[in-house]
Structure 1
Amino acid sequence: MALDAKRLKSIIGGSAGNLVEWYDWYAYSSLSLVFAATFFPKGDLTAQLLGTAAVFAVGFLMRPIGAYVMGRYADTHGRKAGLALSVGLMCAGSLMIAFVPGYDTIGVAAPAILLIARMIQGLSVGGEYGASATYLSEMATRDRRGFWSSFQYVTLIGGQLTALAVAAILQATLSKTQMADWGWRIAFIIGAVLALVVYVLRRRLAETEAFGKLDANRPKSGLMALWKAHPREFILVAVISAGGSCAFYAYTTYMKTFLTNTSGFAVQTGTFIMTAALVVYMLAQPLFGLLADRLGRKPMLLLFGFGGMIVSVPVFSILAATRDPVIAFAIILVPLMLLSAYTSISALVKAELFPAHIRALGVALPYAIGNAAFGGTAEYVALWFKQGGIESGFYWYVTAIIGAATIAFLMLPETKRTSLIEED
């Protein structure tokens, strides 16, 4: 079935919002070194950085709560309403960070407001995944669902790259004093403005027909309803999300630290290697989505599962002794291409497991639990192993978590054939 203009506009609108959401989320980590002194007492840089890291961690912990609250909201009030509320919360959080006075002006209220703003952003990001995954999956036609749903990760990575680019441009055009005093605020103002634009766009999106067809007397969405009706799917989604998220953060976020801390590359070189790798990874998503439309979901998931188990230990081991940036780039692409087989369709596979009346919550909540437990903690676990003098233990840890996800992949149905998303 051809994709009509209405569907295309809706998919673009949903994807653009996802990019803005992740831009705002990553802008914090990209600039935390710069604005740490603004919100915490001067004199102890380590204490300042620990403070900003703690606020970042709290935002991460808010994501399962956001997944639950926003998932229920999208199931009750519609996918469009969920998408609009999600990006609206992100706009509010970014505005608070951009304009809150520093510690020297308002004292402990400064880090307190920063914490509240980050909690709001955590709620937003937690809700965005389920709402956008459900919306994109329901809007796409059956024969191209893999392709169109892959744009969720295209825009997720695009948001991360945009945040890095904005931070780099600001640091290149402003002095260190200007950046520390006020320049970093520009990145959050940009994020808030973009979020406001997307909010207006999302308010004008069409609702999905899958939600529109739901009966007014349908069962209510909620944790107990989800667990009672779909315990097997809940557990499987949590486990595959744990494996996919652990691999994603190990191969992307932590990999940048690994290149500097273990391989010995300069910070700028490591950043360049990872930026180039992320661009290739981003562009690969639609290609793997198309393959999933042709070959099915399970073959792609198993490609990542068995491939990830095979290459994780060798990749990290070889990279640890690599000093050539070109070789490092090529090596990193190996696990990233295998990971693409999962990330390109991960949201779609989850959406195809649940009926429409509880789909957004079914996608969002178990994902957020698996992500928070094994994705958000990946860097901490890696550094714990390194500090203990057994860094290779982390390589095997990643392999084991991917192995658990692979068992779950084997237990999944082929959702291309058994999809609970109706063809409109």
Structure 2
Amino acid sequence: MTTTTSPAAAAAPARTSHWRTLIGTGIGNAVEWYDWAIYATFAPFFAGQLFSSTDPTSAMLSTLAIFAVGFVARPFGGFLFGLIGDRIGRKASMTLAVGLAAFGSLLIGIAPTFQAVGFWASLMLLVARLIQGLAHGGELPSSQTYLSEMAPKEKRGFWATLIYTSGTMGILAGTALAAVLNGLLSTDDMAAWGWRVPFLIGAGLGLYALIMRAGMKETEAFMRESTDEKREPMWPQIVRHRKQAAQVIGLTMGLTVTYYIWGVVAPSYAATALKMDRGDALWASVGAMVVFIGVLPLWGKLSDRIGRKPVLLIGAVGSAVFHFPMTWLLKDSPWQLTVSMTVMLVFIAASAAIVPAVYAELFPTTIRTVGVGVPYAICVAVFGGTAPYLQAWFASISQASMFNTYAVVLLAVSAVCVFTIPETKGKDLTH
């Protein structure tokens, strides 16, 4: 007797595999971004706990400096986890990265205070941030490479939007949690112990993501590569693809600074520098990020229809044109924060939606993870990691316009860089 399988029944395992890929990649990525967002959001509360509280301004600047130092570890994480991803497998790299990030979050959550152990508290924070820097340096290239290789090539732009969608959901969760805690706890309770809650939650979520990723399958593109191809020395390949590495940096510099300005530190900046009510600032940013999440898949689908380059140009040019007007609009009102963040995030979303696909499409399989990971991490460390500190420092010396000019110049560089890359829509990633 011959049995036949209906097309619907045959497609069911594929759909199940697709959902497992999306959920496993998305939740781990969300946890990583959540960890980084809550540091920026809760820094005003724990700065005086982990540094000397005798000089609040110095404590806050020291806390932001460690935020930047964490980015120093990212290039090393990009190389280490990129090497793991290109030699052992994308899945192994992703799983290890999210586990390491969870451990860093746990260290911050249980760190003793400066009053109890002196500089050891600050040192523990530094170590935790370096660990998270390594993890995040490996998470993004590993997860976006995995996702791009698992996606149908005609829908890769749409699938790629999961990276910033899930990441922003992680930021949104951290921001919403901050708003809830800010409403439930007094300022003294937040400073004493409330700031620890989100870090401990992050550690638990990271453990769950680790378990989820351990059950995922490896990509077909990686499995097709021969053992000899995987053993080819890495550095000659990196040198051969130095142009693509430079293009990753060029495409990323404007995006990473404007995203950190408007998508991560805007509510904290509004509360500390502009004296906006902290709870109102947090809820205003939640509304803007919901819009950002909503437009990401629209940009991704558009790139699958008209190409990657037009969408990247819209994002870079639009962000540059509206940056100063939205900065001038933002004063001390929550509605101003909502409008300015929303306008900027709509244009930022154009680039953010599809750069994971663009990065993967620039490199061959044998060097795809490390080829993206190292230049991306260097760029984010140099430009993104210093953005919150530079923004706070320029504001402290009444030169905020200089920082805004800096951001627009980087966006202009990214726009020019778009013209140097090939159109890669629909590219086959198995070669």
Does the CA contact (< 8 Å) of 1:254 and 1:378 recur in 2?
no
Structure 2 residue matching 1:101: 3-state secondary structure: coil
**228 and 60 in structure 1: CA distance in 2 versus 1, 3 angstrom threshold:** closer
Please state if 1:370 is matched with 2:379.
yes
Matched residues in 2 for 1:9 and 1:184: separation?
Answer: 33
Please state if 1:313 is matched with 2:321.
no
Amino acid at match of 2:289: L
What's 1:151 paired with?
162
Please state if 1:422 is matched with 2:420.
no
CA shift at 1:410, angstroms? 0.8
Cα deviation 1:48-97 (Å, max 9, x = unaligned): 33332232222122112211111111111101000110011012112222
Please state if 1:93 is matched with 2:115.
no
Name the TM-score, length of structure 2 as normaliser.
0.89
CA shift at 1:293, angstroms? 1.3
What's 1:248 paired with?
259
Matched residues in 1 for 2:119 and 2:391: separation?
Answer: 32
Amino acid at match of 2:373: A
Matched residues in 1 for 2:399 and 2:190: separation?
Answer: 38
Matched residues in 1 for 2:24 and 2:278: separation?
Answer: 36
Please state if 1:102 is matched with 2:116.
no
User: Percent identity between the aligned chains?
Assistant: 36
CA shift at 1:344, angstroms? 0.2
Matched residues in 2 for 1:282 and 1:13: separation?
Answer: 18
CA shift at 1:12, angstroms? 1.3
**191 and 224 in structure 1: CA distance in 2 versus 1, 3 angstrom threshold:** same
Matched residues in 2 for 1:279 and 1:61: separation?
Answer: 30
**254 and 299 in structure 1: CA distance in 2 versus 1, 3 angstrom threshold:** same
**262 and 165 in structure 1: CA distance in 2 versus 1, 3 angstrom threshold:** closer
Structure 2 residue matching 1:416: 3-state secondary structure: coil
Please state if 1:274 is matched with 2:285.
yes
**177 and 248 in structure 1: CA distance in 2 versus 1, 3 angstrom threshold:** closer
Please state if 1:406 is matched with 2:387.
no
Amino acid at match of 2:429: I
Of 6, 27, 34, the match for 1:23: 34
Matched residues in 1 for 2:401 and 2:247: separation?
Answer: 28
Does the CA contact (< 8 Å) of 1:256 and 1:274 recur in 2?
yes
Of 56, 63, 66, the match for 2:77: 66
Amino acid at match of 2:63: T
Structure 1 residue matching 2:362: 3-state secondary structure: coil
Cα deviation 1:334-380 (Å, max 9, x = unaligned): 22211111000011100111111110111111111222222222334
Amino acid at match of 2:422: P
What's 2:126 paired with?
115
Amino acid at match of 1:279: V
**221 and 179 in structure 1: CA distance in 2 versus 1, 3 angstrom threshold:** farther
Matched residues in 1 for 2:295 and 2:202: separation?
Answer: 26
Please state if 1:343 is matched with 2:371.
no
Matched residues in 1 for 2:321 and 2:29: separation?
Answer: 32
Q: Which consecutive residues of structure 2, in runs of 5 or more, have no partner in the other structure? A: 1-6
Matched residues in 2 for 1:394 and 1:44: separation?
Answer: 25
Aligned residues: 420
Does the CA contact (< 8 Å) of 1:23 and 1:159 recur in 2?
yes
What's 1:329 paired with?
338
What's 2:203 paired with?
192
Of 224, 229, 232, the match for 1:213: 224
User: RMSD of aligned C-alpha atoms?
Assistant: 2.5
What's 2:95 paired with?
84
**177 and 155 in structure 1: CA distance in 2 versus 1, 3 angstrom threshold:** same
**202 and 224 in structure 1: CA distance in 2 versus 1, 3 angstrom threshold:** same
What's 1:292 paired with?
303
Structure 1 residue matching 2:228: 3-state secondary structure: coil
CA shift at 1:283, angstroms? 1.9
Of 198, 202, 212, the match for 2:213: 202
Does the CA contact (< 8 Å) of 2:160 and 2:300 recur in 1?
yes
CA shift at 1:212, angstroms? 0.9
What's 2:20 paired with?
9
Structure 2 residue matching 1:9: 3-state secondary structure: helix
Matched residues in 2 for 1:379 and 1:181: separation?
Answer: 24
Please state if 1:302 is matched with 2:313.
yes
